[in-house]
Each structure stands twice: as structure tokens, then as C-alpha cells.
């Protein structure tokens, strides 16, 4: 058995003239949580659907649990669990019955109690599906995907539209899957979600993987120091040498620099002279969010120039 659940090499996919997945290469290790992180339209769903065997690729090699997903062999289908952006479970069935029904389709299903435990629905077992909250229904979707005892789970945007507490519950569930030794591939456009859950992240934009690694590796690859603060009045005009280097959103100012000391000196001098407080002043290494915004922005700018 190889160490890899998934190997992808030179994968491309176009719809008509539009290339939506452009020569991407990555591996997913067995037992890890892997996140495809990127904005809407990046090509995340297309990529996972190719891995699931639900879409045809144009080019490249894809190996999932040792199978080529396009052949959709029975043994392959039995070893993967899929949670689509929306699934159709029967609203009039009870939670326990629903999982039970899906368990019936597989030769070696996961015990019902354990499924309910992992997805946090033990006390909802006898509730009707339609009585569940949105977050609980989404976790039931995962329970259904888990029913067949798969080695590998695909979760496409597992928490989009969740309130903060439902997200935390979903995150706990995904951590449980990892503790059980399952491999999880998730897509998300939430940086904190990828940061919290994933062992490795592929940062995707416009069909390309722009950075890959652990959070620390992705951040380390990006040079510079981030300097940020809030203006009391969003209309305050910054001196030109600052504003050229800054990203300004409302009253929030962020700068990236390779020479933080002179910048800080000039900035604090300007602040003293102009009676500015520089609220929430921070000087730090970039966060995943800074890197993500940088990378996605520069890929979009490159595009605009073409």
C-alpha cells in the first residue's frame, strides 16, 4: 500500500474555451486532512468531482486509492464517501433510519451508533430529517457518506452558510474523522477553516495551484513583514510613500514591507506630527489570510495584464 491516497499529475479540464483546471499536480497522504482553498470559481469542485469519478478530465494522471476514478469500479466506489454541495436525503425519514438505509448498500458498513457519534447526532437519532437545523442536516450528509465505512471522504464546502457554533461542530466532526485514520479532502473558501483543519493546503485560484504546503510552509515562502493599523477617520489622507505601499479598506490599513524599521519610524513620526493614534497597530509575520489575499490578488492582476 502506498503512502498516498491520491496522486494527481498535470491535471487539466476545460469547458469549451475556458480552462478551469490548468495543469495541477499534488498528492494527498493517507490519513491526512487536505484542503483545496480558494475563492469561488477557482476550480475546486471540478477538481474533486474528477477525483470522485463524477467528471471526465481532459489531461493528466489521477490515482485515487490506487484506482483511476474514471472507471468507477465497484470496489473504488465502496471505499470513498462523497458529500456534494447539496444532497437529497428523504425529509420524512428519521435520522437513524436514513443512516440505516445507506448502510444497507454496503458490504462492510460502519456501525450506526458510531456514525451518529462521529457526526454528533446521537440525540437526534429519532428526529425527522426535516426537523434538523441546517448544520445538523449537513452533518447528516456526512453521516450518510460515512455509512459505507469509506477510507476517503470528499467534503465540498462543508460549512458554507453555517453559523459559528455549527461550524465548530462540523470542525470537531472532521477532526474526529482524522482521528479515526480516514483521509479527508475538503474544499473551502474559508482561510480559518483550512488553517484549523488541514495538514496540507493547496491554495487554488483560476485553475492553478499557487502554493502548497502546511500553513507554516505557505507563510514562510512569502517574504516580508505586515504592518497594520486603523485610521480614526477613513477619510484621512496618508502620505504618498505610505499609500502607494498600502492596502486600504475603509479605515483599515495594511502594508507589506521588507524594511519594517524605517517604515515604522516614518509612520510613527507622521502619526505624532498629525495627531494620529494608529489604533490596533500590529507588526507581524503575514497570516495565512495575508498570504491568500496577496496570492489571489497577484494572480488576478497578472490575468488583467494579459
Ligand X SMILES: Nc1ncnc2c1ncn2[C@@H]1O[C@H](COP(=O)(O)OP(=O)(O)O)[C@@H](O)[C@H]1O
Q: Look at residue 130 and give its three-state secondary structure.
A: helix
- Residue 42 binding partner per list ligand X, Mg ion, none, with a CB distance cut-off of 5 to 8 Å that depends on partner kind: ligand X
C-alpha span between 57 and 11 (Å, rounded): 7
Q: Is 136 in the site for Mg ion (CB under 5 A)?
A: no
Q: Is 20 in the site for ligand X (CB under 6 A)?
A: yes
Which residues are CB-neighbours of 25 under 8 A, at least 6 positions away? 8, 9, 10, 11, 209
C-alpha span between 152 and 89 (Å, rounded): 21
164 dihedral zone (left: phi>0; alpha: psi -120 to 50; beta): alpha
Q: Is 210 in the site for ligand X (CB under 6 A)?
A: no
C-beta closer to ligand X: residue 46 or 137:
46
Q: Is 41 in the site for ligand X (CB under 6 A)?
A: yes
Count of residues in contact with ligand X, rule CB under 6 A: 10
Which residues are CB-neighbours of 164 under 8 A, at least 6 positions away? none
From 36-44, 69-77, 211-219, 285-293, span contacting ligand X (CB under 6 A):
36-44
Residue of 27, 35, 44, 65 that binds ligand X (CB under 6 A): 44
The minimum distance between CB 21 and ligand X, in angstroms, equals 7
DSSP assigned state of 16: T
Q: Is 188 in the site for Mg ion (CB under 5 A)?
A: no
- Please give the grid coordinates belonging to residue 142: 456526512
Look at the alpha carbons of 85, 89, 95, 96 in this order and tell me if their dihedral is positive or negative.
negative
**Binding string, residues 43-82; x marks residues near Mg ion by CB under 5 A:** -xx-------------------------------------
Tell me which residues touch Mg ion (CB under 5 A): 44-45
Tell me which residues touch ligand X (CB under 6 A): 15, 20, 38, 40-46
Amino acid at each position: 500500500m502506498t503512502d498516498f491516497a491520491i496522486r494527481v499529475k498535470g491535471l487539466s479540464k476545460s469547458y469549451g474555451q475556458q480552462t478551469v483546471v490548468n495543469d495541477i499536480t499534488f498528492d494527498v497522504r493517507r490519513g491526512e486532512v487536505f484542503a483545496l482553498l480558494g475563492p469561488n470559481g477557482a476550480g475546486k469542485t471540478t477538481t474533486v468531482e474528477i477525483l470522485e469519478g463524477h467528471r471526465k478530465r481532459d489531461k493528466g494522471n489521477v490515482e485515487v486509492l490506487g484506482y483511476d476514478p474514471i472507471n468507477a469500479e465497484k470496489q473504488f466506489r465502496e471505499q470513498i464517501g462523497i458529500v456534494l454541495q447539496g444532497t437529497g436525503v428523504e425529509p420524512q425519514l428519521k435520522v437513524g433510519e436514513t443512516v440505516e438505509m445507506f448502510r444497507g448498500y454496503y458490504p462492510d458498513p460502519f456501525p450506526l451508533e458510531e456514525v451518529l457519534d462521529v457526526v454528533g447526532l446521537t440525540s437526534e437519532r429519532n428526529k425527522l430529517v426535516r426537523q434538523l437545523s441546517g448544520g445538523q442536516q449537513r452533518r447528516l450528509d456526512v453521516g450518510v457518506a460515512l455509512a459505507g465505512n469509506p477510507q476517503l471522504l470528499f467534503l465540498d464546502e462543508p460549512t458554507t452558510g453555517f453559523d459559528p457554533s455549527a461550524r465548530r461542530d462540523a470542525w470537531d466532526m472532521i477532526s474526529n474523522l482524522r482521528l479515526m485514520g480516514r483521509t479527508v479532502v475538503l474544499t473551502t473558501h474559508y482561510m480559518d477553516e483550512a488553517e484549523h483543519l488541514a495538514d496540507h493546503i493547496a491554495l487554488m485560484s483560476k485553475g492553478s495551484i499557487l502554493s502548497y504546503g502546511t500553513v507554516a510552509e505557505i507563510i514562510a515562502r512569502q517574504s516580508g513583514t505586515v504592518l497594520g493599523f486603523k485610521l480614526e477617520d477613513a477619510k484621512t489622507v496618508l502620505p504618498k510613500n505610505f499609500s502607494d505601499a498600502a492596502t486600504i479598506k475603509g479605515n483599515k490599513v495594511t502594508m507589506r514591507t521588507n524594511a519594517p524599521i524605517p517604515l515604522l519610524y516614518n509612520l510613527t513620526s507622521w502619526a505624532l506630527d498629525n495627531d494620529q493614534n494608529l489604533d490596533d497597530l500590529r507588526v507581524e509575520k503575514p497570516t495565512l489570510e495575508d498570504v491568500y489575499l496577496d496570492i489571489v490578488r497577484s494572480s488576478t492582476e497578472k490575468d488583467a495584464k494579459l
